[in-house]
Amino acid sequence: MSMNYAFGFSLILLILVALNIYFFYTLNTVGKRGPVYLYEPDLKPNVYREIYEYLNYLPDQYKSRNIKFIPIQKQLIQTFNSSSPHNTKDVWQYADNWISEESLFPQYNGTLGKILYNMRTAKISRVEIAPKGSQLKLSLILEGKYKMYFKPKRYELTHIVTGDIYGGYDRHNSEVFAYYLAMVMNFKWIAPCVIRKLHVANDVVPVATKELRLTMIKNGTSRCIYGKCRYCHFSKTVCPDKNGEIEGATILLLNKKFQTHVSPWRRSYNSKKMSWETENNFCVKVMNTLNLKRILNLVDVSLFDFLIQNGDRHHYEVYKDRIMLFDNGKGLGNPTVDELDILAPLYQCCVMTYSTWRHLEMLSGGILTETIKILSSFQGFKLATEDHYKAVERRLLKIYATVQYCIGKHGSAKVFKIS
């Protein structure tokens, strides 16, 4: 009995000592890194765990409004506010003659606002079926021979697309939202894009090509359109609203030659895993095939795509050795989902252009989405729900956390590159 009593007493003492150590440790680690998550983490790959750790302890500067962006915001407002009268021909000529290594279109003197205004109001001289793509698109030829792609509205803004990140129809509002996002992020290699409404009976039918008219179905006094594309079918028409109009994104078609490349981080679109999803050192392989400038450009694109959750960039187009931000219609699908694997180029390669990082730091504290709302207001269309705007701000914090993860792993000197 005495031996059993001694053993039991010793066990109790050990438990008491362990509890004292636990409580002492707990009291002395208040405010330090711990296991309490402020954001629910995705615990699949180990890298996600580490990114969420950095997310939970981001410095306050990444959650506060950065006043350094205010002068840039004012410049953007000036270039997108097209309230002053202008000569349409002069604007198109100025845009045509623009040659720059810094931007695809002129960024100053209100030119972008005037271009968007012209795209939204210019008379249409011909409408035809766009020659490429998996979904219905129209080509609008304006007076003066300028051409635009028209992606029709398929969903209401409040519609949530579930399932695969690349699922569903293209969202016309995502194309336009992406354009303003690119401008705010200082990514200047994107075609101007704006929402426009087409009156089917007045704007389309009188100038439609024969090929397009053959894909129209009568709908009362107006007509629905199903077009011609990989997945186009007469059971999947786009019909005018009660005013006889179809809303859509109009994207200025660029009369330039682009080189098309397959993205190293493309998806398989089936259950097959791609190399970037299974290989720990995938970026080493990429660095053996692409130069650093191209990789830095792909990282920039991944930041852009992550903010809108565009997981469908299987190919990319290059002009003047810069990746063009085309085909952004798969964004803004589900505001409750943040697919971190869109950031794979960043967290696998852990490199970023220093100028991109400094600009990103200025977009903290809500000023990113605030600026998008201001710029888009000049055209008079709402681009997204408040849930989507909040999601963009939430994802920006995750980008900050991913960069902090890379800095913690490799150091700032190896992460940030001067281009």
Q: Which residues are catalytic?
A: 312
Report the alpha-carbon distance of residue 53 to residue 36 in Å, rounded: 9
Residue by residue, DSSP assigns 316-383 as EEEETTEEE----TT-SS-TT---GGGGHHHHHH--EEHHHHHHHHTTTTTHHHHHHHHHHHTTT---
DSSP code of residue 97: T
User: How far is residue 94's CA from residue 70's CA, in Å, rounded to a whole number?
Assistant: 28
Phi-psi region of 237 (alpha: psi -120 to 50; beta: other; left: phi over 0): beta
Question: What are the tokens at 378?
Answer: 């000049």
Chain centroid to CA 347: 17
* C-alpha atoms less than 13 angstroms from C-alpha of 147 in its C-beta half-sphere: 14
- The 3 state secondary structure assigned to 108-127 is CCCHHHHHHHHHHHCCEEEE
Element (H, E) at 201: none
First CA to last CA distance, the chain:
79
Residue with tokens 């505001």, as numbered in its chain: 335
Which amino acid would we find at residue 266?
R
